[in-house]
Structure 1
Amino acid sequence: MDFKDKIDAAANWLRAADGLLVTAGAGMGVDSGLPDFRGTEGLWRAYPALKRAKLSFEDMANPMSFTATPTLAWGFYGHRLALYRETVPHEGFKILRGWTDKMEHGAFVFTSNVDGQFQKAGFALDRVAEVHGTIHSLQCTAPCEETAWDSSDFEPMVDEQSGRLVNALPVCPNCGKLARPNILMFWDHAWVEKYSERQLARLTSWVPAVERLVVIELGAGRALPTVRHFSEQHGPRVIRINPREDEISPKFGLGIPCGAQEALKLIDERLSLSV
């Protein structure tokens, strides 16, 4: 099947669908200008201070970093929090919403991203499952309670040269210990996961009602294959969109070697021609 045939097939699946499962990895945000930390060099281009310290993504996305170097850990996450707050979701998000507005069961999002871009783009809060949590909520590093709270009162100020937070570190309102993002990190035994679990329970309840489900997977790579595996569990009509890693067994669906926004526009154009 050549590229055009894949676009046509994807459009045909979507035309017949009564519900859309959107599964998304870091590549979905790249077209909005967000870094995807692809490899150590990708991280270091975004955060030169970490390059000078020879620190990897695993070193920073690690609960121990908040104990060892709290101002550096919050410099990394604080910069990301501010960036995600400022970022405007790209046109592809609007295209997805336009498709699902016409479907009987609408859409549900399953994402490993912690940036909150789907909610910012207008997807319903109860139709998004963030499998790795969200940077827009904080929790205690202990944690002293199995709870998280909104991060909107925290305004991080980060020195770009040192990569460190220069204003007051956020603290737990219950015990006063250091707070951290409510995100699943590497080697993490303290993540408060109940919020993500509730989201996933809603998704699990939604899927059986959809008779003609189509999965559109956007920018999910093989390095952390959580999203790819979840997509394939809900085949056989998976549309895998990835510029470098679009391979997928025909029993699960088809792959389109393209960036997220570009592929969504091409499929949308094909759908428009068929009206």
Structure 2
Amino acid sequence: MTSAALFAEAASLIAKADGLIISAGAGMGVDSGLPDFRGNSGFWRAYPALAGARIAFEEIACPDAFRRHPRLAWGFYGHRLNLYRRTLPHLGFAILQGIGARLARGCFVFTSNVDGQFQRAGFPEDVICEVHGSLHHLQCMEPCGHGIFSADTYVPEVDEEACLLTSPLPRCTRCDALLRPNVLMFGDGEWLSQRTAGQRRRLEQWLRTTHRPVVIEIGAGSHVPTVRWFSETLGEPLIRINPTEPDIPGRGVSLAMGGLDALSGIRAALDRQGFPG
């Protein structure tokens, strides 16, 4: 089937829906210039200092890294926080917003990304579920009861060549212990999940009021399959956008291409079909 035919099929699924579920993995940010850590090779290209030390993604993205090498761990996460703050979301975010705005029940986002790009693109906070947390929030390394709080006032200074934090380490105002991002890391039994749990409850409530949803999944791989599992277990028509792993197990459309190209093609097909907006 040609790309035009696939776009038309995807557009038909959307036109029949009353709500849009946007499920997004790391590939969603690629068109904005964000790195996609697909295996150590991609990770090490983005962080050559960690490549030189042969430190894998799973070794730096874990709570123990903050205990063993806090300046290295915060060098990695501080760089990412600064990168996310200055990155502008690509046009695909606006296309998804426009589609959701034309459906009776709107849209809801389910994402494993911790970059805050959906909020930065203008999606309301109450229609986003960040299943792995957010780098824009912090928590204490100790169980002091401080809870989860915004990282807005924390501005890390990082030696990017060495991947090391050069500014003071962030400290808890309650107990003076080290702070860490409120993101679910590898081997992480310490992550505070209350914020994400509240988001998940809002998502489940939205799903109960939506009768004909369609799922558009962008850039969700099988290495960390949280988003793919979510998309597939809903039992709804699925439009999967993934240049390397596009296959779907049930009803839907498979688009083996990047997010922005696919969403632009779908938007054009909706225009041709007279979809409002």
Query: Would you call these one fold, judging by a TM-score over 0.5?
Result: yes
Q: Which residue does the alignment assign to 1:104?
A: 104
Question: Counterpart of 2:162 in 1: which secondary structure?
Answer: coil
TM (norm. structure 2) is 0.97
Could you tell me whether the CA contact under 8 Å between 2:219 and 2:242 is conserved in 1? yes
Say what the alpha-carbon RMSD is for the aligned residues: 1.0
Report deviation, 1:143: 2.9
| Equivalent residue runs for 1:39-188 within 5 Å | 39-145=39-145, 147-188=147-188
Supply the distance in 1 between the matched residues of 2:146 and 2:183 (Cα, whole angstroms): 13
Could you tell me whether the CA contact under 8 Å between 1:18 and 1:106 is conserved in 2? yes
**Residue 201 of structure 2 is aligned to residue 201 of structure 1:** yes
Q: Which residue does the alignment assign to 1:20?
A: 20
Supply the distance in 1 between the matched residues of 2:152 and 2:39 (Cα, whole angstroms): 30
Supply the distance in 2 between the matched residues of 1:169 and 1:186 (Cα, whole angstroms): 22
Q: How many residue pairs get matched? A: 274
Q: Which residue does the alignment assign to 1:258?
A: 257
Supply the distance in 2 between the matched residues of 1:136 and 1:196 (Cα, whole angstroms): 13
Cα displacement string for residues 110-132 of structure 1 (whole angstroms, at most 9, x for unaligned residues): 00000000011011100000000
Question: Counterpart of 2:171 in 1: which secondary structure?
Answer: coil
Stretches of 4+ aligned residues off by more than 6 angstroms = none
Q: Which residue does the alignment assign to 1:268?
A: 267
Unmatched 5+ residue regions in structure 1?
none
Could you tell me whether the CA contact under 8 Å between 2:219 and 2:259 is conserved in 1? yes
Supply the distance in 1 between the matched residues of 2:155 and 2:235 (Cα, whole angstroms): 42
Cα displacement string for residues 104-159 of structure 1 (whole angstroms, at most 9, x for unaligned residues): 11000000000000011011100000000000000001232261111011111111
TM (norm. structure 1) is 0.97
Could you tell me whether the CA contact under 8 Å between 2:10 and 2:252 is conserved in 1? no
Supply the distance in 2 between the matched residues of 1:53 and 1:255 (Cα, whole angstroms): 39
Report deviation, 1:17: 1.3
Could you tell me whether the CA contact under 8 Å between 1:146 and 1:192 is conserved in 2? no
Cα displacement string for residues 68-122 of structure 1 (whole angstroms, at most 9, x for unaligned residues): 0000000000000000000000000000011111111100000000000001101
Cα displacement string for residues 26-73 of structure 1 (whole angstroms, at most 9, x for unaligned residues): 000000000011111111111111011110000110000000000000
Unmatched 5+ residue regions in structure 2?
none
